[in-house]
Chains A and B, each alone.
Chain A
Amino acid sequence: MNVELLTSQFWDLTVTGLALGAIYALVALGYTLVYGLLQLINFAHSEVFMVGTYAALIAWGWAGLTQESPIPGLLGMIGYLVIGLIAAAVASGGTALIVERVAYRPLRRRNVPRLVFLITAIGVSVVISELVGVLTDRHRAGIPRLVERSTVISIGDFEITNVQLGVIVAAIAMMVGLDLFINRTRLGRGIRAVAQDPDTAALMGVNQDRVVMLTFLLGGLLAGGAALLYDISLENTRYNVGFLLGIKAFTAAVLGGIGNLRGALLGGLLLGVVEQYGSALWGNEWRDVVAFVVLVVILMFRPTGLLGESLGKARV
């Protein structure tokens, strides 16, 4: 166990972990939103994310940004960020809506057992991932560099790059936006109503199908945002990037208390950081093991996750 590595690089590991954890958290929100509403684990959500990573890449290609291009200037960078965000959001949001409409709605109509949803979700996930795999010859695609890394804050050992800071700030901004939407708007109240009591929500005039669509759309948009941040920080993607990231994000959601929006944030950041500490202590190959051991241990003591109560029962 390499304790010295952990202590000597503590801040570096923490910042790296937070930047990655913020992306987990954004994806985790998609799991937690849908779970809170339908008690359904949408395993296809990982692919909703993956599609977004490609959409931004393709849009950048159309706009003339390739791996051979020089790093764009400030205005160019902002332009490409906007293009990438729109592309990823449209692709991920659209995919989420299509999955809901094509795969889940017919099942909801028929009131099938939950297990059927689960199998369907896994099936959809495999289909999307394989489709992209075949279309891309299973190659890893490099993503052109948009932002030159530079350290923006440096206090003693604590250093953070512009990309890391941007990722964390952007992710938190998106989550605050979601929180306000859910808690302060009429449509958000509709989502909470269906999560807490679908029948009574219908009696109050809430159109349940519309609420479900809206929820999938929100989860998709956040996954699109996460996809953009992922592209910028990791600078490559592949047809199967959704798999491990999806499992991590799902873990983050469970860790924080599935169905609980703020829990997803907490779970994501925590998981990101713990993973980094673990890989410093035991080596990079143990990173994923550490993440899941933490999950199992926390769930042993707090089966409902850290923040417990779900979207259904508590104020979100």
Chain B
Amino acid sequence: MLLELSDVTLRYGRIQALHGISLTVNEGEIVALIGANGAGKTTTMRAISGLRPIASGRIIFNGEDITRLRPDQRVLRGLCQAPEGRGIFPGMTVLENLEMGAYTRRDKAGIAADMKRVFELFPRLAERRNQPGGTLSGGEQQMLAVGRALMAHPKLLLLDEPSMGLAPMLIQQIFSIITEINKQGTTVLLVEQNAQQALSRAHRAYVLETGRIVKAGTGQELLHDEAVREAYLGVA
């Protein structure tokens, strides 16, 4: 098991956003987390990456209890998140943004190889390498966010709505890239509104409702589940 959350609760002041989340991600998997707006998907990601402290529960990563570690310490252990809303550094060029992804790394050769890989996956970024991140289009920023997370060469890649705001063509492309990255050996935990795509690409998935996991199964199982189809795939 690469990642295990046991009974994680989290509060924003008086609001309790997570009511005891337990989930696992195995090495080599793509695991999807789906749910309606406000279900707590982003909050779960923040708990995993350490941006918000959790109120109770435990988070184990790669056999180590990381519950009390700072976000940067978790990155050092191989966890990298592309945040919701992209989080591009507006005043940095595309190249500098990508270099930020590799901030904790010292292996120059490895960084150069990953930079090459990112530019192969996203040729558009290569063309715009010296453009400030803040002036990229929304779709380009999304590519940059995913590419930047890859630059960390993480064991576990956390993606929060990577298809948000993209044209249908690009959505297809982003999901193919996620599958490709996974085939190359990166484990992926994916939050998505686009349940159709996410479920058909994921090995396993969890359904989140108001801070609780209400369903779990393989991607295919959930894709054919009556209730899931009705609630998240817009099929009556």
Which residues of A pack against B, CB within 8 Å? 186, 189-190, 192-193, 196-197, 199-208, 311-316
Contacts and interface: CB of A to CB of B under 8 A. Distances in A.
Contacts of B148: 204
How large, as a class, is the contact surface on chain B?
A: 20 to 34
Name the residue in B92, B104, B132 with the highest tally of chain A Cβ atoms < 10 Å from its Cβ: B92
A201 B97 CA distance: 10
Contacts of A193: 89, 92, 100, 103
B91 A192 contact: yes
A204 B152 contact: yes
Interface stretch (B69-77, B194-202, B216-224): B69-77
B165 interface: no
A199 B91 contact: no
A288 to B, nearest CB: 35
Nearest to B74: A205
Interface in B28-86: 49-51, 70-72, 75-76, 80-81, 83
B7 interface: no
Interface of B: 49-51, 70-72, 75-76, 80-81, 83, 87-92, 96, 99-101, 103-104, 132, 134, 148, 152
A203 to B, nearest CB: 5
24 contacts: A186-B99, A186-B103, A189-B103, A193-B92, A193-B103, A196-B91, A199-B83, A200-B88, A202-B50, A202-B51, A202-B70, A203-B75, A204-B104, A204-B148, A205-B71, A205-B72, A205-B76, A205-B104, A205-B152, A206-B72, A206-B103, A313-B134, A315-B91, A316-B91
Contacts of B71: 202-203, 205
A186 B103 CA distance: 7
A193 B200 CA distance: 36
Nearest to A199: B51
A210 to B, nearest CB: 9
Name the residue in A192, A199, A202 with the highest tally of chain B Cβ atoms < 10 Å from its Cβ: A202
Contact of B81 (A189, A196, A203, A207): A203
A315 B92 contact: yes
Contacts of B92: 189, 192-193, 196, 315
